Structure 1
Amino acid sequence: MTKIPDIIASSAQNAAENTAQVAAVVTVLNSLDAMIYVADMKTYELLFINDYARKKWGEPGNKRCWEYLQTNQSGPCAFCTNDKLLDENQQANGVYVWEFQNTQNGHWYQCRDEAIRWINGDLVRIEIATDITDRKSMEQELEAARREAEYLAGTDPLTDLNNRRVFFNLGEQVLKEALRFNCPTSIIMFDLDHFKLINDTWGHNVGDAVLKRVADIAAATVRTADILARIGGEEFAILLPQTDLPQARTLAERIRKAIAADVLLINNAPIGVEASFGISSCEECGELTLTDLLNIADQQLYLSKKHGRNRTSAHQVNP
């Protein structure tokens, strides 16, 4: 698929012969529900802005990009991405994606920046900025819910992970976000294989030490946005916002292998443990509840146990 920057550069270079093509590209850019502008990378002169930008920021006049789009700026923005768009030979090095809160209107934007060649051969920056203020608001609400849950003593005292109550409180927020923004959501469940044997052989103090070690391994592997909890005796669950099934499987396998490779020394005796995993994932969660997804993940966990343990089973939910 041809990229928009390629179309612009190609069309600009042949503008004399391809006026209709240039006009068509501009029409497309003006129809997008995102701010698009092109600025010279040396002078910061605005070379193109689309209609969306004009509606939000007005006519640019002779303003440079930092004068037009930001406020209280006495020079080029300290957060300008120009230096991230070129390699050591001053050649374009691909797309740079970042998020930013605009200083003029306070809105959050996801920006896709790229260096391309303009009509005269100079390097310019094209930026496509999509308003993600609603998504950020949901993320902030989730973070507020997370802090409140922690304040309500929702931490498992043995592992220092979230407990079952926190898992469900935060999980409902994640599913609301998934439904609103049509994002995939996944759940990983896992528990330790033959854990009763460890307790019976070594005692519950050793069993607790094993649970703590496994919790530490999982906590060191999950991402910041993931919600890891101990939901039962030796049962753990991870809620994965904006995560599809392949991504969830990759994370589950990383944790499973790390647990299997670990050895805990108790009185100089090595103790190893393995775990079985189950995954449920929905691309469009619809009316699914957190309990629904957890039950499906639990069924997949049972399949892993049935087929030999120390493995991962997964199911893609299609409501």
Structure 2
Amino acid sequence: MLLVLPLIARLRTMTKIAPQHAETGSDTNHSQAIDTILNSLDALVYVSDLDTYDLLYLNDYGVSVWGEAKGKKCYQVLQSAQHSPCQFCTNPKLLDEKGNPAGVHVWEFQNTQNGRWYQCRDQAIHWTDGRLVRIEIATDITERKQMEQALIEAKSTAERLADTDELTQLYNRRAFFNLGRQIAQQTAQPLAFIMFDIDHFKRINDRWGHAMGDAALIHIARLTQTKLRTNDILARLGGEEFGLILPNTHHEQAWQVAESIRHGFDTQPLQLNGHSIHCTASFGISSLVLPQINHPDEAQTLLETLFNNADQAMMQAKRAGRNQVCDAV
């Protein structure tokens, strides 16, 4: 399609510069040649008055898709339920500040009448009677747009899967720390970490099998989600270990959240296939008020400190008898 506009211009020029003594039949042949070329294109070609929007020409492709155009405005034929010039009309972009043709404007658009995508090449030219008109060549690119959308969705899915624990559909360890680094930029905001580990999880696997162990992990994940706000970050860090990042949360609030989750585990066993599996967990909490972060490495160091402190507190809870919440020292 890159050659179409120059070709049209050349054909029109050839017609304009034909000798004055040329036979009428020669002019007719030129006109028929141009018409044959335009009607052979697998693309819309139309011409409309730049001021009145009257359609002056519509090739066979356009007629086959949008219908006859005689006596109509371009927006009445080419768009759906349009009774005035389109808000997205590119006419103002086709002229320079002096009102002269400004060259070709290329854009993509989803037609409001048939829903298909088109790449449009618009240009202002002088018509045979001297007035300025708009010529547009629109090529159907629907299949390309569908492929592009499929690639975007595939990329989004791949990114989501890269950040998602396959079993529980929670964030994974990678996402946990990536999101944590972003949150660490919020200077002067309180931030809390909660780490918890399911107590004696190996016993569940040994007694009930790994399928039941997986069900228990999912059960724990779902119970925890019911206790959280939308901006809290819950992740499965590996095995039976989970992490929570609580933005804008003071230590006392984090303790209440941890205790609520712990109580939920203790009082709501997993019921599956006629079996009741009682799960408890040990919790560790660390918190701080975020300092000014001047370098990404500082955010990483801060997160590692919070993580390690919460992990140590969790180990303290295990040593103290499990099924409890402990603070970082």
Length-normalised TM-score, structure 1: 0.50
Q: Give 1 or 2 for the bigger CA radius of gyration.
A: 2
